[in-house]
Chain A
Amino acid sequence: MKLLVLLAILLLIIAGHQLLRIIELSRGLKKTKEWQLTNSDNNAMGRGMLIFMICFFSFFFWQVYRWKDRALPSSASEHGFKIDWLWDVNMNFIVIPVFLLTNFFLFWFAYKYRGNTNNKATFFAHSNKLEMLWTIIPAVALTFIIIFGLKYWNEIMDDAKDPNKVTIELYAKQFDWSARYTGKDGKLGTTDYRQIDGSNSVGLDTNDVLCNDDIIVKNEFHIPVNREVELLMRSRDVIHSAYLPHFRAQMNCVPGLVTAFKFKPVKTTDEMRKDPYVIQMMDGINKQREKFGKEPVIFDYLLLCNKICGASHFSMQMNIIVESEKDYNEWLAKQKPFKAVASK
């Protein structure tokens, strides 16, 4: 088999070599050189540019249409609606029109002004008016983007001030997450990374009594709907990033620092499972899973790691359950506080 492949390659090389000889010999007979452009070259390539544009734009719209049920569902958090709105305005009124228009002019001119021996280009070296025009228009558009962008940014990144907030600490390590709740006292205990061991996986300071009632959970964590959630983030080893795409929330977890992000979930997990868009999206997922031979799944909010953190970066995630205040409290009551777990 290998011999045959080798033989085939050898034959190809010989054939190629002979072909090149013929081309090289025939070169001398022609008046124009191969590299010189002819009108038909320019015509072909100019038209090629136009055809490319049509295909390119068709490809673009095809993707938008074909993959319309692939994007993340609309926001499940309050601030996320603002982000989605700003995203849509930016995309639909600035990014996509500019992309289509400028590409159109580029390829249209490339087609229309394709070279011809009878033509002569117009000597047109500059125009202050035109240049002013395309300095000022982008500047005006950018003013809008900056004003709204910064307004929302400041709101989103502000400290969590709601007195009724839920504070949860996300703790990242290679390669899993845990979440820590304040427990009855409403306060997270202090931490000390030197005390990390088998029964103290997130490094609580055992001298601090505030730690005793803290609740640590793995694999999934619950949050109540319509209450502000303040996430505090720590990391044990390398940089991770807590990415909660459905809530439009993300923040890096940096060793040595405590970072924060706040959001207010507005849809419970059950509500999301009944959302028509989510149903359609899950259909797509389950169809593909059938092809893989995997069992079908239902929708769940997810916390992902979004900063390269090592070999199993791709598998570092945790489920999030958003539920009513009542369900949340019931779930929380069932969890064991740190002291009870540690003293076992």
Chain B
Amino acid sequence: MGTKHTATALEHEHATHHDHAHDHDEHHETFVSKYIFSMDHKMISRQFLITAIIMACVAMTMSVIFRMQLAWPGEKFAFVNALLGDKWAKDGILDPNMYLALVTIHGTIMVFMVLTGGLSGTFANLLIPYQVGARDMASGFLNMLSYWFFFVSSAIMLASCFIEDGPASGGWTIYPPLSALPQAMPGSKLGMTMWLISMAIFIVSSLLGGLNYIITVINLRTKGMKMTRMPLTVWAFLITAILGVLSFPVLFSCALLLIFDRSMGTSFYLSDIYIGGRPLDNVGGSPILFEHLFWFLGHPEVYIVLLPALGITSEVISTMSRKPIFGYRAMIGSMLAIGFLSFIVWGHHMYMTGMNPFLGSVFVFTTLLIAIPSAVKAFNYITTLWKGNVQYTPAMMFSIGLVSSFISGGVTGIILADSALDINVHDTYFVVAHFHIVMGLSAIFGMFAGVYHWFPKMFLRMMNKKLGYLHFWITFVCAYGVFFPQHFLGLAGVPRRYYTNSNFPMFDNLVDINEICTIFAIMGALGQVVFLFNFFYSIFRGEKAPQNPWNSNTLEWTTPVANIHGNWPGKLPEVHRWAYDYSKPGQEHDFVPQTVPLADGEHDGGEH
């Protein structure tokens, strides 16, 4: 750190508690109860993280395969054949059905397994009890179930990639009738059934986790931890959990009706269909109903993915700028506003679906409103940097990367939210560029920031800083390199989910843009090896972490450097101030932990 003092008053205080810590920790644990069916929030958090990393690697490999197909259609790649076999990649040429399957499973894994389960599961689990001063989650047992449902769901999703007809391939949005009719494509046979089962189990996991997070934040805050003293991370996890609890059940009902249509002959989403050489009996349903139900989850889902990342960034930017987060209350307000608005904007995914255009107008209005709290957040981050003393840990680098991608991807949202402008770019690569930058990059950067920042709390060791820098620059440059040019594909009218753009002449002049995207994608994917090495190496052989390596104010850094049950040996800490007293005038150090009582005449919450 730039500041030289590492020892704090707290460290001394807790040093005396270390002996007690052993008494607490010594009840007998088997391997199974400690590492597998653990009910400890810290272990569950690590389980979520490592599962998510594995899933992310799978999804990333898939994306490299289909990016190569897009850049060099018809080329033979031995490694594609090695991964997919002769059935799906004869001679190394990707099969069109497998292309769609890869796109679908890449999207599903990234959105649900990595950025919902992985991101919230890891950091809400780790940080909520730590930062509100609780011994553990409200229900350790439900928390354990939450992870194991997530695990089973991920396992089923992976298993579906190995069945004869291939996994679900109707796009991650699985619009019926394509997903409902096995005659429509091979991926709508057993693969789709497994997708739906996996998703139903995932929803259970998400609900168990979400309810736990909400209850823990509301009931288990330590003495003095008022809602307005909570770190923004906890606020973000709380709002995310509320969004999840309110919207995932709708996805469940949506999936359930699809299961009925698929296997029990109902017609919720089906009508007037002639397929496979014969007319179907189903009459009276509507795929538009599915779209409404799906996007009623689907849009809040975007913020379920993004808000935890923004929460993590708020904490990291403030700590590393050595400045209070600018506009703490405005940050909470804008997160609440975003959370609320996210429930009344789903129709902007449906402007071109045949939904009544008048309804579209309403959604234009509500959608564009979201730009206001989002802008407030971006400007507040930038102002937090202003006149700061910015400490460039890898976590801080990724946080700045997040703010940049949040802006760059956010501004094109203004175009897409405007239904009149959406007509011509709907479902083109312009949309792909937009949501990958604003949701993919930002959320992944937030996740990386969280991993680098809280690694010392998770694994009690430090990650390597220089490898972190290397990883950041490769990722940051390549991520923009992959997705920025895709705006230009969208401007040329290239539709999404095309197996090749060279089947007819219209897009032949765009080959080099696709090549640029793919080359960056391959480099970016290889760059993640740096992270994987750093991560797994540091777990076992990284330098030992001190108690508070980043000179941070929040409660998790007052716990001893050990994973003990109950988090704090002895009494729970008492909170006396908000989490952002960095560089406060009149203080000895440039940080004042939340446990330090207010001096006479000292104000809390940013006043001084």
Residue positions of A touching B, CB distance < 8 A: 20, 24, 27, 33-37, 39, 41-42, 45-46, 48-49, 52, 56, 59-60, 63, 67, 69-72, 80, 82-83, 86-87, 90-91, 94-96, 98-99, 102-103, 105-107, 109-110, 113-117, 119-127, 130-131, 134-135, 138-139, 142, 145-146, 148-150, 152-154, 156-157, 174, 193-194, 196, 203, 236-239, 241, 243, 245, 248-252, 254-257, 259, 281, 284-285, 287-289, 292, 294, 297, 302, 304-315, 317
Contacts and interface: CB of A to CB of B under 8 A. Distances in A.
B386 interface: yes
Nearest to B362: A150
Contacts, number: 382
B2 A37 contact: yes
Nearest to A120: B583
B272 A45 contact: no
Interface stretch (B24-32, B178-186, B552-560): B178-186
A33 B424 contact: no
B465 A142 contact: no
A332 to B, nearest CB: 25
A243 B495 contact: yes
Contacts of A124: 323-324, 326, 383, 386-387
Interface residues of B, number: 135
Nearest to B95: A311
B375 interface: yes
A256 B285 contact: yes
A90 B509 contact: no
Contacts of A130: 327, 379, 383
Given A34-B464, A255-B271, A117 B428 contact: no
A255 B287 contact: yes
B400 A106 contact: yes
B488 A45 contact: no
Contacts of A305: 495
A56 to B, nearest CB: 7
A39 B271 CA distance: 67
B81 to A, nearest CB: 15
Interface of B: 1-4, 96-97, 100, 170-171, 175-178, 181, 184-185, 270-275, 279, 283-288, 321-330, 352-354, 357, 360-361, 364-365, 368-369, 371-372, 375-376, 378-383, 385-393, 397, 400, 403-404, 407-408, 411-412, 414-415, 418-421, 423-424, 426-428, 462-466, 469, 473, 476-477, 480-481, 484-485, 488, 491-493, 495-506, 508-511, 513, 537, 541, 543, 549, 580, 582-585, 590, 605-608
Given A42-B390, A308-B496, A237 B273 contact: yes
Given A241-B427, A245-B424, A99 B541 contact: no
Contacts of B275: 174, 236-238
B178 A309 contact: yes
B513 A67 contact: yes
Given A37-B393, A304-B495, A237 B177 contact: yes
